[in-house]
Structure 1
Amino acid sequence: MMVKEVAKIAGISVRTLHHYDDIGLLRPEKITAAGYRIYSDDDLSKLQQILFFRELAFPLKEIKQILSSLSYDQWEVMELHRNMLLAKRARMDQMIETLEKTMRSYKGEIEMNNEEKFVGFDFNNNGYEKEARERWGNQAVDEWNASKNTKSEDGQTELSESMNVIYRKLASLRHESPSSEASQAVIKEWFVFLNRIGNYSVESFKGLGQIYVEDERFTRNIDKFGEGLSIYMRDAMEVFVDSAVK
């Protein structure tokens, strides 16, 4: 398959495939005399493994080391991928439940105490993460463990105020380029802030930015600070992540 076909079927960009080739992570089996990349079925299988690792927020450098390791066992890795994804799904299900309760609380249908607001944010007891760290080392595993923020009423007020300050800063910059130095400085503030209340790898941070635009509920709330802010944040977050993973 040619690079455009691979990009389409895998749901990634041609630029991403070119980057994987450039860093030696995924070299196509053949390059024609005209310079066209031709990918084999084995290349596609390797790409699938890479994307599983990326879904779990492994850095590209570490993925390359794992796939090139003499001890690499594809079946063993697939089993670990499955277990880690199942653990991730369980956490996401719990967080969705927390979010839905929060929405009901916002509408006045139920009351939530401070403990309930953070159910699902504790990633410290992930056994499969421990297994992956033991197998590939700490640097090869996404850092899921977030420091717990205080859950006092004062703590919640401080968080809310800090969040609004950052939104207002971003709203004031939304007519600038998302890649500008000022924009990236405040987006970094947003990334650091979110990791105070949860745990976001750079890849999940990028996905969150996409949700800001794709989910009208997020769009509506964010754009209260300024029309088009959600789109601006998505673009700035993408620039931040792309710079971080180079």
Structure 2
Amino acid sequence: MGHSVGQVAGFAGVTVRTLHHYDEIGLLVPSGRTAAGHRRYTDADLDRLQQILFYRELGFPLDEVAVLLDDPDADPVGHLRRQHGLLTARIARLKEMAAAVERAMEARKMGVNLTPEEKFEVFGDFDPDVHHEEAERRWGGTAAWRESQRRAASYTKDDWKRLTREMDRIHRAVAERMAAGDPADAPAVRDLVEEHRRFISRTSYPCDHTMHTRLGEMYVADERFTATYEAIRPGLARYLRDAIAANAAAADAGGADGSAARTGQDDGS
């Protein structure tokens, strides 16, 4: 007897009204009806619905979806290849957006004193002011917030572009050490996260090892930070968190390897 319209709506996460509309426009006509006239959907109907929802998720209008699914010359393998290409392009775009979010949030790029055109040139589609209210709610009462705002207001477009390149370089270097198989507490990795800490101190607000450790935990706890680092390399958020913790522990232990002796350099300058 197939599946009822209510069952299909539950399977697919759509409303019954949506299925009725698809039927009315001929996009998804159920293969059967009960004696009372109720819609009944077969497994083939569900396969078609899955295709419809895929293209809708990618932003295709319904009339274009109908053309894609009903083209008599369509090759199933080619159809799947097209889906794969669309998903790959979307993943790449999402990674670009995640990287823009990271650049803005990492350096507390809130309330940046740039024109809309300059913001677009530096940050792309991401507007750092969007997260200003949330950041102020979380950190607005702290000296770090006030200092980051003071510094951000003084930066020019070229300053932001230079700082963005520097932070990206540090992140890529950490990801390369991870790819090479270095443990998070390796001296070379700790040197990089120490550079990361001093970068924040130099550009945004004084960032001691305690503050840096809290940031490392946030990279794992806050899904926006996690997504950004995962886009650079899977597992990088936890790896960076662990490296930051190892660097802080080495500094607390007295810096037997010499790393602690460097921790005062550039802080707050």
Q: TM class by shorter-chain length?
A: 0.3 to 0.5
**TM-score, normalising length: structure 2:** 0.41
**TM-score, normalising length: structure 1:** 0.45
